[in-house]
Copies of this chain bind each other. A is one copy, B any other.
Amino acid sequence: MVSIKDVARHAETSFKTVSRVINGDTRVRPATRERVNEAIQALGYRPHSGARMMRSARSNIIGFLSDRVTTQPHSGDILRGAQQMADAHGRLLLLFNIDAEAGDEHRRRAFELLMEQRVDGLLYACDYHRDVELPPEMQQLPAVLVNGFSTTTALPALVPDERLAAQQATRLLLAEGHRHIAFLAPNPRSVATPLRTAGFHDALIEAGLEPSSQAIITACVGTPGGEEEYRVESALAQLMSAATPPTAILCGQDRIALQLYLALARRGLTPGRDLAVVSFDDQQPISGALTPSLTTMALPHLEMGRQAMTLLLEGDPPPGTLTIPFSTTLGCSHRRV
């Protein structure tokens, strides 16, 4: 491998001057600088990050520890956002993904390996919004938690603003004139569920409606096997047979919306025409394929990844949880009946 000394020899100067050129030191005569740059080109010289690291005690590498990320579809957007901002700051991302099956000691080892690489900071990303128990040693370096929060550690954390999103989604339906809105709630064990329910309530109260008069049905439950089971067909049957059936349905997840689309189709009903539908998540494979197009609150995964990295690199992030708003993906499904 060609080193800085080879370049110096080729450019007929000292290797120190080459170092200066590489690091943009202004105190190099233009002619010398030119010679050095030519030599670098000619020899295909690449600075050795290891040696740099040793001298400067910085690696320009950020560790990305992901807790089952990429298991859930599209949560990889966190990674993508983080990568974008890391790149913008001239950093690289060292990835370590912990699979669901892996135990705590695996996570500890992952952390250890990243530390050996002398990463300058750490992002810890969760696959879905949840409370995560972090090993205390994680406080040894600047770290930001993404898509999760930690009650045991005082780390800055970024989570999606579930409550606000639910409020916004409900407002969309209220603005279309709906007064009977049902909520098909996701898995009650999910952190997001009570928050989305609360946001639903917020909007109703704001509109002068009585939350208790609106139907909330749990449409997804976890099975003992860890799988999730959906009960949308029966929920819809229950809703439609009520004294005053809803004219709009807020789905707690795109998967629920998908099932609702199917259940409606079986009844000869079309979302956005016979019944308004709004959903959460904006999972592309679903939201991009449903017709009529689904109006859904898009999880800000990309944005969280970007902001987390920015926070880590620019800010001196205060401990505490920051909420990031969803964005609204407007389709036709929420339109006025």
Seen from chain A, the residues whose Cβ lies within 8 Å of a Cβ on chain B are 1, 46-54, 57, 59, 61, 64, 69-71, 73-74, 76-77, 79-80, 83-84, 87, 92-97, 99, 112-118, 230, 233, 254-255, 258-259, 261-262, 265-266, 268, 283-286, 288-291
Q: Report B-chain residues with C-beta under 8 Å of the C-beta of A290.
A: 258, 262
Q: Which residue of B lies closest to A117 (CB)?
A: B49
Of chain B, the residue at the smallest CB distance from A91 is B113
Q: Determine whether the beta carbon of A76 is less than 8 Å from that of B83.
A: no
Residues of B within 8 A of A288 (CB): 255
Give the distance to chain B from A233, nearest Cβ to Cβ, in Å: 8
- A74 neighbours in B (Cβ, 8 Å): 73, 285
Most B Cβ at <10 Å: residue of A69, A84, A97? A97
Q: Are B285 and A254 in contact (CB under 8 A)?
A: yes
Copies of this protein chain in the complex: 2
Complex Cα–Cα for A93 and B262 (A): 42
Shortest A76–chain B CB gap in Å is 4
Does the CB pair A291–B1 fall under 8 Å?
no
User: Is B73 a contact partner of A73 (Cβ separation < 8 A)?
Assistant: yes
Distance, CA A84 to CA B54, complexed state (A): 29
Q: Check if A80 sits within 8 Å of B94, measured CB to CB.
A: no
Q: List 18 A-B contacts (CB under 8 A).
A: A48-B116, A49-B50, A51-B54, A53-B53, A54-B54, A70-B76, A70-B80, A73-B73, A76-B76, A79-B95, A83-B96, A254-B285, A255-B289, A258-B258, A259-B289, A262-B262, A262-B265, A286-B286
Q: Closest CB-CB distance, A182 to chain B, in whole Å? A: 19
Which residues of B sit under 8 angstroms from A51, Cβ to Cβ? 50, 54
CB distance from A254 to the nearest CB of B (A): 7
* Cβ–Cβ < 8 Å partners of A95 in chain B: 64, 79, 83, 92-95
- With a CB–CB cut-off of 8 A, which chain B residues contact A285? 73-74, 254-255, 283, 285-286
Known A70-B76, A286-B286; judge A49-B265 contact (CB<8 A): no
Minimum Cβ distance to chain B for residue A74 (Å): 5
Chain B hits for A99, CB < 8 A: 80, 84
A47 to B113, CA, bound (A): 10
CB-based nearest B residue for A289: B255
Most chain B CB atoms below 10 A, which of A52, A64, A92, A285: A285
How near does chain B come to A207, taking the closest CB pair, in angstroms?
Answer: 31
